[in-house]
Structure 1
Amino acid sequence: MSTTTGVVWGRAEQQDFRGRVRGTLLGAALGDALGAPVDRLDLAEIQAEHGVEGVVDLLPAHGRRGAVSHLTQLTLFSVDGLIRAQVRRDTGAWHPPTDLHRAYLRWAATQRDWGPDERRAEDGWLAREEWLYARRDAPRALLLGFGDDVMGTLEAPKNPAEPGPEAAARSAPFGLLVGWEPQLVVQLAVECAAQSHGHPAACLAAGAYAVIVHGLARGDDLDGAVQKALALLAVRPGHQPVSDALQHALGAVRQGMPGPGRVAELAREGSAQELLAVAVYCALVGEDVRHGLCLAVNQSGPSGAAGALTGGLLGALHGETALPPAWLAELEGRPTLLALADDFAMEMTQGPALHGPGGSSPGWLARYPRGA
């Protein structure tokens, strides 16, 4: 089955796409950084510490303002894995879930090693970024899921009872595959979620999130992108919890002024589908990116994941220029995020010129080796 939909890349289309790629990755990282300092606090504790409005600005976490968590680290490795998959396609070795799994194993090495192994050229440039070797409270499901070389699959998933949002929160890059058919975007995100979060709802929440980003990156409005996701979910066994959560989010928009109470109703236990609902709701009702992100993180569930999911939607919808500049200025790893975003956009629009049959760039293949 072909993955392409015949996207024509004129100059204006390339510029718009790059802005949405940057917006998605930076937006998700900003949401992660905004929520990380209060990730383990309930709403009452957040308000007691930061006032009735809760978090309204970046706060210190992990020793600095603007620090990101394992969620952003893994999102970066998702992008790296997708670029490597495209490069490896030239060899005939075309199995993106395997390439993503290899990328996630490179992330897992950052959680064990003191720093990059400069001797391993096949790791590529991202795995040599020293700031990514900071350990940022990755949950047990991730450490177990990527703790050995065995890849979880839909038939034999890792952590089959794990309903958390971490797999969904690393899945925005799949939605940026705008040349892919939407159902294949869902499938890839679901298969990659099973590598660490094998609960059916967690996998389908990742697929739904990815395809909503996909719709936004292709120019849909958010309501339209959610409706398309619901249609794609409807044919998949076990979809009801995720579909119900999305419908709940759409219904909450019509129930009056947004506030922590409505977010709490959606967040509930902090499962993947519930935080997906929070993200959709906050992106729909937020007056701007700042407001939407603050709504998402001021609640008793996993604030970092809620912020990351919301930021990915808002960034894909509005592009990088809508993001708060004062927050971007303090965002940890911003140069890496921008470089990776631009590499992804170039690979997706100019791949054949970088490593096609007519010639290749040695520098590009050093950044994204065709090896493991």
Structure 2
Amino acid sequence: MSTGTTAVWGRAEQQDFRSRVRGALLGGAIGDALGAGVSGLSLEEIREAHGADAVTDLVPAHGGRGCVTAVTQLTLFTVDGLIRAQVRRDTGAWHPPTDVHQAHLRWAATQRDWGPDERRKDNGWLGGQEWLYARRAPTRECLNGFGDTTMGTLDRPKHPAARDSAALTRSAPFGLLVGWEPQLVLQLAVECAAQTHGHPTALLSSGALAVMVHGLARGETLDGSVQHALALLAGRPGHEPVTEALQQALGTVRQGIPGPALIESLGATDSAEEVLAVAVYCALVGEDVRHGLRLAVNHGGPSSATGALCGALLGALHGETALPPAWLAELEGRATLLELADDFAMEMTQGPALHSPAAVAAGWLARYPRG
């Protein structure tokens, strides 16, 4: 598997990449938090609760303003798994889906334990973050899929008929593997989605998102990244619902002033392809990050999911400095998100200086154990 991880990074390239990684993770979390308090409500119910303009600012959810859901929790553990895959590569063990699966099993422990278990030697620093030990509306598919140590695969996926967006919403980090070829990024996202979901729509929506983020993290336009994803999807069996949803999103951009009616015409269910289409549309038509995210959560669909995906796309496109500072200031877990984003960027750009067959930074292996 050729990944290009030995590329030499200049300082400006490293800084740009770190900004996009921060943007993707923080943007996704902001969108998640913005939609958390209204997810599943109809537009009428949202307006009744928050006024004619619907949600324009963070609203209370899960005990406070700025709180995130299982969408952000799982995304964080996806990143943790990808870092550990790189660290374990020195040992000759190179199978990223396994490392991502192990990371998601650590997430599952946060859903049943009261707090970090100091006896677990593989927890690393992320598993020691007490604020993550909280149930924030995880889906049945994720709880059951990571409820035992058996890993779902493409041949034998967990929940073969599941087509909701829970695998999709944890898949943006795969796109941040900018040293990989796009088709490998897509394949990894698909294989990891199969750990909880088996329907082709759920699998290929996850892969398409990863390819889009990959393009954005490399400096492509959003429209160009969507077109790239469509081209790679075309050769995959069962791609038609995802392809049609993305093409509809592109077509809707030209149909008038963005608003809830156009958004809901793309779908108002939690089906993966509809959630992806709504997020892509809102990212394309948003005048800025704030406007795009408000569009992404003010509709009758799963606002937390669409907000998280739109935020990840816009964050990867524009970088962290484009994110609304007032929302960042109240975001739950912001310090953890920043630290993990910076660790990911450092691993991807300077990994050989942290660990290699000849030299190891002990502190890094304490954060990201190989076991």
TM-score range, shorter chain: over 0.9
Q: What's the offset of the Cα at 1:221?
A: 0.2
Q: Does 1:237 align with 2:237?
A: yes
Paired residues for 1:274-353 under 5 Å:
274-353=274-353
Q: Does 1:142 align with 2:142?
A: yes
Question: C-alpha separation between the residues in 1 aligned to 2:7 and 2:155?
Answer: 33
Amino acid at match of 2:132: L
Question: C-alpha separation between the residues in 1 aligned to 2:57 and 2:64?
Answer: 13
Residue 151 of structure 1: aligned partner = 151
Residue 255 of structure 2: aligned partner = 255
Q: Does 1:178 align with 2:175?
A: no
Q: Is the 8 A contact 2:269 2:302 kept in 1?
A: no
Q: What's the offset of the Cα at 1:160?
A: 1.2
Q: What's the offset of the Cα at 1:5?
A: 7.5
Give 3-state SS (helix, strand or coil) of 1:30's partner. helix
Q: Is the 8 A contact 1:194 1:203 kept in 2?
A: yes
Amino acid at match of 2:40: R
Residue 113 of structure 1: aligned partner = 113
Q: What's the offset of the Cα at 1:7?
A: 4.2
Question: C-alpha separation between the residues in 2 aligned to 1:141 and 1:275?
Answer: 17
Amino acid at match of 1:150: T
Give 3-state SS (helix, strand or coil) of 2:73's partner. helix
- 1:117-169 per-position Cα deviation (integer Å, ceiling 9, x unaligned): 01212211100100000111111111111111110001111111111111111
Q: What's the offset of the Cα at 1:289?
A: 0.3
Paired residues for 1:46-61 under 5 Å:
46-61=46-61
Question: C-alpha separation between the residues in 2 aligned to 1:234 and 1:4?
Answer: 25
- 1:202-247 per-position Cα deviation (integer Å, ceiling 9, x unaligned): 0100000011000000000000000000000001000000000000
Q: What's the offset of the Cα at 1:6?
A: 6.6
Residue 160 of structure 1: aligned partner = 160
Residue 196 of structure 2: aligned partner = 196
- TM-score normalised to the size of structure 2? 0.99
- TM-score normalised to the size of structure 1? 0.98
More off after superposition, 247-256 vs 158-167: 158-167
Q: What's the offset of the Cα at 1:267?
A: 2.5
Residue 45 of structure 2: aligned partner = 45
Amino acid at match of 2:338: L
**Equivalent residues, number:** 371
Using the aligned pairs only, state the percent identity.
Answer: 74
Question: C-alpha separation between the residues in 2 aligned to 1:208 and 1:122?
Answer: 31
Paired residues for 1:77-88 under 5 Å:
77-88=77-88
Question: C-alpha separation between the residues in 2 aligned to 1:261 and 1:130?
Answer: 40
Question: C-alpha separation between the residues in 2 aligned to 1:268 and 1:327?
Answer: 25
Q: Is the 8 A contact 2:47 2:53 kept in 1?
A: yes
Q: Is the 8 A contact 1:121 1:366 kept in 2?
A: no
Question: C-alpha separation between the residues in 1 aligned to 2:215 and 2:85?
Answer: 22
Q: Is the 8 A contact 1:71 1:305 kept in 2?
A: yes
Q: Does 1:187 align with 2:187?
A: yes
Give 3-state SS (helix, strand or coil) of 1:33's partner. helix
- 1:285-333 per-position Cα deviation (integer Å, ceiling 9, x unaligned): 0011011001011111111000000000000000000000000000000
Q: What's the offset of the Cα at 1:178?
A: 0.1
Amino acid at match of 1:167: A
Amino acid at match of 1:15: Q
- 1:225-277 per-position Cα deviation (integer Å, ceiling 9, x unaligned): 00000000001000000000000000000111101101101123231111101
Q: What's the offset of the Cα at 1:357?
A: 2.8
Residue 269 of structure 2: aligned partner = 269
- 1:329-350 per-position Cα deviation (integer Å, ceiling 9, x unaligned): 0000000000000000000000
Paired residues for 1:114-129 under 5 Å:
114-129=114-129
More off after superposition, 349-358 vs 322-331: 349-358
Amino acid at match of 1:144: N
Question: C-alpha separation between the residues in 2 aligned to 1:61 and 1:295?
Answer: 19
Q: Is the 8 A contact 2:67 2:332 kept in 1?
A: yes
Q: Is the 8 A contact 2:105 2:149 kept in 1?
A: yes
Question: C-alpha separation between the residues in 2 aligned to 1:7 and 1:184?
Answer: 17
Residue 102 of structure 1: aligned partner = 102
Amino acid at match of 2:248: H
Give 3-state SS (helix, strand or coil) of 2:104's partner. helix
Question: C-alpha separation between the residues in 2 aligned to 1:213 and 1:329?
Answer: 24
Question: C-alpha separation between the residues in 2 aligned to 1:25 and 1:71?
Answer: 11
Q: 1:271 to 1:366 in 2, by over 3 A?
A: same
Q: Is the 8 A contact 2:5 2:348 kept in 1?
A: no
Question: C-alpha separation between the residues in 1 aligned to 2:242 and 2:205?
Answer: 6
Q: Quote the RMSD (CA, aligned, Å).
A: 0.9
Q: Is the 8 A contact 2:3 2:180 kept in 1?
A: yes
Q: Is the 8 A contact 1:5 1:181 kept in 2?
A: no
